[in-house]
Structure 1
Amino acid sequence: MLHDIMDVKLVPYGNAQLPSGISPFTCQHGEPECHGNMIEACFLHSVGRYSAFPVIYCMESAANILDAAQPLSICLQLHVPSMMWDSVTSCVKGELGFKLMHENALKTKALSPAKTHVPWVTINGEYTDDFQDKAISSLFNLVCKMYKVSKPPACTGAQKKLDTRLY
């Protein structure tokens, strides 16, 4: 599998703004986007990134992505039927959700160069337009091409779609 040769991180934050004082985060597409980002952050925290990616991909592919709760419940049933929605809800409604979002804000603000759009893909901590274009087109092919040592079997087989490091 490609996860043996790459470390993929998803940072749900996008173009949100840090809160001032006790006000909530402000997101480019309003409160529903902030809520969805927090759900994703809490879900990543609860199950770990590799278990979370199929569910988050499913959520992000939903027709109404801004109503994150509806696709999440369906995606959980499909990909992690043993996962209880209550554990994600308590994170989203509690202090942990805000802590995770704040951590994602700091990671996003620390990008160099600063992001100018989302998704923002970095490879080995570096952003280039070429990396961005190739990763969005086929992260799988890009990773296999860039890998310098003996290619894993996944790189010689059929193409697969993988998620990227997104901000």
Structure 2
Amino acid sequence: MPRAALRRQLLALRGALPQRPTADAGIEAALAALLERLPVHRLGFYWPIQQEFDPRGVVSRWLAGAPGRQAALPVVSRPGAPLDFHQWEPATPMVAGHYGIPVPDGTPPLLPDVLLIPCVGFSEDKFRLGYGGGFYDRTLAALAASANAPVAIGIGHEACRIALVPQEHDLPMDWVVSERGVF
């Protein structure tokens, strides 16, 4: 199936998931446990769109769990470039960024050591299917070439686990979290 059609199918499936609160609670518990066992100091995450799991509660609690922790949201600085990340706290003022997705207003840049990355779909071998814009692919590729390569954690719903043949530019996630746990 062409990737565009597969995306549409998975987005419709995600939007109609039965028992969504139970699934999201499972993702939240698994993600919180993983973040506590990894040496995370600067956490990059995403603002939820299109029925994605909302990580803001987990991130807020993680921030409050120990001094010195920082979180950041992605910002599209220019087309075709890797994402920039800017510091975020629950009280951070937000403005509409590219595609209308909220971004921090006037906060400093921050280089995450762990990235939470939304998955439209994901495979058993931890490759993800995103929205097709290549933003996270470019970001992971750029950071993988540096000494500051972040740990990549894909976040998705189990119903969207699929057989996926990776494309040449795809990089696997280090971890994937679904309502069934962490792998």
TM-score range, shorter chain: under 0.3
Which of the two has greater helix per residue? 1
Considering Cα pairs closer than 8 Å and 6+ residues apart, tell me whether 1 or 2 has the greater RCO. Answer: 1
Taking structure 1 as the reference length, what is the TM-score of the superposition? 0.25
Which of the two has greater strand per residue? 2
Taking structure 2 as the reference length, what is the TM-score of the superposition? 0.24
Q: Based on CA coordinates, which of the two structures has the bigger radius of gyration?
A: 1
